[in-house]
Amino acid sequence: MGLFNGLMSSLGYVRYSNGSGWYSVTKNNTTYLDGKDKLSLAINHSTLSSVISIRADYLSKAKFYIEDENGDKDFNHESLKWLKNPNPHQSGEDFLMQYEWFLCAYGWVYQRPYLNSFKDGVKYMYNLNPSQIQFPNKMGDTIIVTKSDERNYYGKEFSYKDVQTNKSIKFLDVIPYFDVTSSIDNSQTGAVTSPSRIDSIIKEVSNVSLASDAENIVIETNGREMIFSEQSGANLGGALKLEEKDRRNIKEVLNKPLSHGNRTLTPSKKLGYINMTVKLGDLGLNKSRETNSNIISQRYQVPNEIYKAFTTGDTFENQRESQVGFVQNVMQPRADDLAASWTNSFGDPNNPFKASYEHLPSMQILEGKKADKALKITTSMRNLVQSGLTEEDAKDFMNNLGIQFEKK
């Protein structure tokens, strides 16, 4: 076993004391020796599944539009028709949720657009499952200086397993997305892949699972008890076995529901009793699971208020503020990256794809606050002018107070 573990360790395999194992990504694939890849791990893990579901759900709420030269938003533009049903299997919401799951689990994902023609736009669009991608044995040097270097590097093909068929796809034909960033590891595929956040929290992920397993074992001890004769043996000093009639009587009475008559025991000898149930609260498993889950949710930038509301159904007074921050700082940039990539790949730079969350109730409240603030600033400005200040002096006065009345 020592030789085997040493060999597996050299391949990136880590064996834990509880018998479980973890295998890092090597040889251009995302398969693990224990039969689970990162997506499978995430789907079947209580915390990972929750935080990625939250992110995927919020991304699916984004509304994409085309912005014209005047800044007007067209949510029903012809160039967006494909997004309603990106392919025969998915709605637009399903497509966006799948994208976020792949990106959060693996750290990178490719989209493959199929165009009617450059003029007519997209016919179908697919998110390629990273676990089904096999890269070329040699990608080549990553320092690209000339257009010829770029064509040679990205003109290569990778193999994609589509159920039972292996398809060759050029890097030039896909749109790459990276959750962390590309080109930060030393592998030959580092320029076209990105690390997964799961790698940095694998211990916390394991701790949550182990705590849940331990809690399950503890709960199974509920109701276990020991009944014995307190009379000691003459020579051994140990408790004597129950007499058969007492054993049958105890079993019959204790298994009888409370509502079913007399539950009185009348043993022939004095009995001893031990409750074998383990007190769950004494073990601190809930605290351990909560602590590790919080680390996982923070790694995925999901606010604690949103995570707890999702997992327990509780409501928090500051949940709306957390939603606003989460959308503005986390999910809006994610949607913006999609929109910008679509524009660069097959869109019109003069009429780019854009993403909006203005329709969400929490964001509408934010817009209302902005309107209230604008009204207060306007009212203050009017009062200052009516008090005798010139308009320029009033603006300078408000700017000196930290109120940005106008852009300089």
pLDDT in tens, 149-168: 999 999 999 999 998 899 99
Q: Rounded distance, CA 269 to CA 108, Å?
A: 71
Neighbours of 106 (CB within 10 A): 25
By the 10 Å C-beta count (0-12 exposed, 13-18 middle, 19+ buried), 25 is classed as buried
| Residue closest to 65 by CA, chosen among 57, 77, 55 | 77
Domain that holds residue 264: 225-275
Arithmetic mean of pLDDT over the chain: 79
Residue 348 within any structural domain of the chain: no
pLDDT value for 137 = 87
Looking at this protein, which amino acid is placed at residue 67?
E
Specify if 119 maps to a domain: yes
Write the CB contacts of 250 (distance below 8 Å, at least 6 apart in sequence). Answer: 227, 242, 265, 267, 271
Q: Are residues 183 and 61 in the same domain?
A: yes
Same-domain pairing of 41 and 15: no
Strand partners, 87: 90
Phi first, then psi: give them for residue 158, nearest 5 degrees. -120, 160
How many domains, in total, are found in the chain?
4
Residues 151 and 207 occupy one common structural domain:
yes
Kindly state whether residues 179 and 249 are assigned to the same domain.
no
Beta strands in 86-198 (DSSP E): 108-117, 121-128, 133-134, 157-162, 165-170, 175-178
Same domain, 94 and 200: yes
Task: State the pLDDT at residue 305.
Answer: 85
Residue 283 in any domain: the answer is: no
Helix axes of 304-312 and 285-299: crossing angle, nearest 10 degrees: 120
The pLDDT value given to residue 394: 72
pLDDT digit string, tens, across residues 264-295 = 777 777 777 766 666 666 667 778 888 999 99
Query: Phi then psi for 352, rounded to 5 degrees?
Result: -75, 160
Across the strands, what pairs with 65?
354
**Phi, psi at 142, each rounded to 5°:** -100, -10
pTM here? Answer: 0.72
What's the DSSP call for residue 333?
Answer: H
